[in-house]
Structure 1
């Protein structure tokens, strides 16, 4: 029996590893967060942890399991697992992404150090190690600037600093650890998602955001919509992504999620790239729009299994992520109204009676939808329609009225 170790920081419904590997002779050994353990409990080897992202018993257990089962590969699709999986591969002598590559895709400063002066425009940046660095950078480049953790995903912890008062407020707050400061880039943000297998880019496609990645901060929805091949930005974004992958120590097998701005003066500017699939409902949207399950194909590549990737046939589809509000969820639309006919897939991450504190990061959501339509414009209209329908058919109450945390 062959084994692969999987860092599984996703619900089973999203990543049914045993189903994907059925018939291959490969058994997944699962290391997961406590909240997902029950989903995987039917599998023979499941190890769950509290405080999964920071609990170093995860690494200790993974190393023991890797040796005990003589695993042939390590798979990890979550941002929190990129570096720990790379380090484990090195310790076990396994192929795949190693630490230097993982850091280049995880640490935003290391990433930009690789790309600065290359073929893709990179905003001025600096590693932020103290208030003195921030003051010096602002003296050189002026306001506004963006300060963000070097290794978080989903815009978590990012702050736009527009003037000295906002800088003072930021500096007075608790130190957030290793961070980056860069000039603020105005414009529309796009993302490009795809897959590398056998050292080649085997799938790549650009998407635009409806609203933007920071919409969660106002508890507003964010959506993703594929660009058509006829869109004038399509080739520019694909070319820029290929250039970024060529400049970075890209592993021979990886999914990727890149983000770029198109500025008001039509410059294409790099934001960041991750060696993983996109968050939210992006993978589900790609599956509906192109018939490709990026996570499954990436797993097959890591395991050395033959790809089931065919020739993609595009069908218009988009993804919608709706963050929670502040308060206790009293009603979800499932119990109150027939959902719009354009909905193709639904995922809820919370339940009635649960207390929430608004949006946390762009990739986390209360309700996720995949929506289709006859054209890109039709899908965009349907995404807005579903967001409004959800709002009209869900109900919240203030947390304080329930007498405690639900």
Structure 2
């Protein structure tokens, strides 16, 4: 019997590793967060932890299990696990992404250091080691600037600083961790998602955001819509993603999620890239639109198996993530009520649960993949489903809030 160690910071319904590996002779040994433990409880080897992201017993247990089961590979699809998985592979001499590569895809300053003199435009940036650095950067580049953690995902902790008053407010209560400062880039944001297997880009496709990555700040929805091959930005975004992967120490097998702006003066500017699948409903969208399960294909590549091919050609689709409001959720819309354009649903909350608004762009209360006969119809259906959800869900103020949700 062969074994693979899996860092599983996802519910089983999203990543059924045993089903994916059925018939391969490979058994997953799962390390997961406490909240997902029950969903994996039918598997023979599951170890769950509280405070999963920062609990260093995760690493200790993973090392013990990797040695005990003589695992052949380590798989990790969550941003929090990228470095810990790479360090474990390196320690045990296992194939896959090692630490230097993981840091280049995880630390936004290391990432931009690799790309600064390359073929893709990178905004001016600096590692933010003190308030003095922020002040010097503003003198050199002016406002607005963006300050964000170097290693968070989903726009968590990102702040747009437009003037001195906003800088003072930030400095009075800064992000508690290592950050970077960079010039603010205006424009439409796009993302490019894909898969590298055996050192080759075997799938790549660009998408545009409807609303943007910071919509969760106002408890508003964000959506993803694939570009058609006829879109004037399609080729330049694919070319930019390939160029970024070529400049970075890209591992032989990885999913990737890259973000770019196209500015009002038509410059394509790099934002960031991650060596993992995109958050939110992006994996579900790729599966519905292109017939490819990026997570499953990536897992196969890491295990030395042939990635499963796409099951169908392109079908127009889009993904929608709706964050919670502030208050207690009284009612969720039911499946029987949902518009006929909905193809896939993921709900992460329940009636009676108290929420405190959006936390980060990749986390949501309800996620939908919707279809249509054309990209224009899909875009309209995304707005339609967002409006339907708002109209049919019900909230009441939380006992402690004293306000209206």
- With the length of structure 2 as denominator, give the TM-score of the two structures: 0.98
- Give the deviation of 1:313 after TM superposition: 1.2
Paired residue secondary structure (1:249) = coil
Task: Give deviations 1:70-103, integer Å, cap 9, x for gaps.
Answer: 0000000000000000000011110000000000
Residue 11 (1) aligns with residue 14 (2) = no
* Equivalent residues in 2 for 1:272-311, closer than 5 Å: 272-310=272-310
Matched residue, 2:163: 163
Larger mean Cα displacement after TM superposition, 106-115 or 172-181: 172-181
Q: In the superposition, relative to structure 1, how do residues 88 and 405 fare at CA in structure 2: closer, same or farther (>3 Å)?
A: farther
Note if contact 1:107-1:150 (Cα within 8 Å) is conserved in structure 2.
Answer: yes
Note if contact 1:190-1:260 (Cα within 8 Å) is conserved in structure 2.
Answer: yes
Larger mean Cα displacement after TM superposition, 177-186 or 306-315: 306-315
Paired residue secondary structure (1:327) = strand
Structure 2 CA distance, aligned partners of 1:376 and 1:192?
17
RMSD (Å), alpha carbons: 1.7
Note if contact 2:292-2:311 (Cα within 8 Å) is conserved in structure 1.
Answer: no
Note if contact 2:148-2:180 (Cα within 8 Å) is conserved in structure 1.
Answer: yes
Note if contact 1:285-1:317 (Cα within 8 Å) is conserved in structure 2.
Answer: yes
Note if contact 1:194-1:257 (Cα within 8 Å) is conserved in structure 2.
Answer: yes
Structure 2 CA distance, aligned partners of 1:65 and 1:228?
45
Detail structure 1 runs of 4+ shifted over 6 Å in the superposition: 401-406
Note if contact 2:128-2:134 (Cα within 8 Å) is conserved in structure 1.
Answer: yes
Q: In the superposition, relative to structure 1, how do residues 405 and 17 fare at CA in structure 2: closer, same or farther (>3 Å)?
A: farther
Paired residue secondary structure (2:235) = helix
Matched residue, 1:369: 368
Structure 1 CA distance, aligned partners of 2:119 and 2:184?
20
Q: In the superposition, relative to structure 1, how do residues 72 and 267 fare at CA in structure 2: closer, same or farther (>3 Å)?
A: same
Note if contact 1:221-1:323 (Cα within 8 Å) is conserved in structure 2.
Answer: yes
Paired residue secondary structure (1:400) = coil
Q: In the superposition, relative to structure 1, how do residues 240 and 320 fare at CA in structure 2: closer, same or farther (>3 Å)?
A: same
- With the length of structure 1 as denominator, give the TM-score of the two structures: 0.98
- Give the deviation of 1:400 after TM superposition: 1.5
Q: Which runs of 5+ in 1 are unaligned?
A: none
Task: Give deviations 1:271-320, integer Å, cap 9, x for gaps.
Answer: 00000000000000000000000000000000001121248611000000
Q: In the superposition, relative to structure 1, how do residues 224 and 404 fare at CA in structure 2: closer, same or farther (>3 Å)?
A: closer
Q: In the superposition, relative to structure 1, how do residues 351 and 377 fare at CA in structure 2: closer, same or farther (>3 Å)?
A: same
- Give the deviation of 1:187 after TM superposition: 0.3
Q: In the superposition, relative to structure 1, how do residues 175 and 340 fare at CA in structure 2: closer, same or farther (>3 Å)?
A: closer
Structure 2 CA distance, aligned partners of 1:92 and 1:7?
16
Paired residue secondary structure (1:123) = coil
Q: In the superposition, relative to structure 1, how do residues 321 and 175 fare at CA in structure 2: closer, same or farther (>3 Å)?
A: closer
- Give the deviation of 1:401 after TM superposition: 7.0
Q: In the superposition, relative to structure 1, how do residues 229 and 279 fare at CA in structure 2: closer, same or farther (>3 Å)?
A: same
Q: Which runs of 5+ in 2 are unaligned?
A: none
Structure 1 CA distance, aligned partners of 2:246 and 2:311?
24
User: How many residues in Structure 1 have an aligned counterpart in Structure 2?
Assistant: 405
Structure 1 CA distance, aligned partners of 2:228 and 2:301?
27
Q: In the superposition, relative to structure 1, how do residues 57 and 283 fare at CA in structure 2: closer, same or farther (>3 Å)?
A: same
- Give the deviation of 1:403 after TM superposition: 11
Note if contact 2:397-2:403 (Cα within 8 Å) is conserved in structure 1.
Answer: no
Note if contact 1:328-1:354 (Cα within 8 Å) is conserved in structure 2.
Answer: yes
Q: In the superposition, relative to structure 1, how do residues 59 and 405 fare at CA in structure 2: closer, same or farther (>3 Å)?
A: farther
Note if contact 2:331-2:351 (Cα within 8 Å) is conserved in structure 1.
Answer: yes
- Give the deviation of 1:177 after TM superposition: 1.4
Paired residue secondary structure (1:52) = coil
Residue 123 (1) aligns with residue 145 (2) = no
Q: In the superposition, relative to structure 1, how do residues 311 and 14 fare at CA in structure 2: closer, same or farther (>3 Å)?
A: closer
Paired residue secondary structure (1:193) = strand
Q: In the superposition, relative to structure 1, how do residues 183 and 353 fare at CA in structure 2: closer, same or farther (>3 Å)?
A: same
- Give the deviation of 1:175 after TM superposition: 4.6
Task: Give deviations 1:192-231, integer Å, cap 9, x for gaps.
Answer: 0000001000000000000000000000000000000000
Matched residue, 1:405: 404
Paired residue secondary structure (1:384) = helix
Paired residue secondary structure (2:37) = helix
Note if contact 2:125-2:182 (Cα within 8 Å) is conserved in structure 1.
Answer: yes
Structure 2 CA distance, aligned partners of 1:372 and 1:209?
16
Task: Give deviations 1:104-158, integer Å, cap 9, x for gaps.
Answer: 0000000000000110000000000000000000000000000000000000000
Note if contact 1:355-1:405 (Cα within 8 Å) is conserved in structure 2.
Answer: no
Note if contact 2:318-2:369 (Cα within 8 Å) is conserved in structure 1.
Answer: yes
Note if contact 2:215-2:222 (Cα within 8 Å) is conserved in structure 1.
Answer: yes
Task: Give deviations 1:16-54, integer Å, cap 9, x for gaps.
Answer: 000000000000000000000000000000000000000
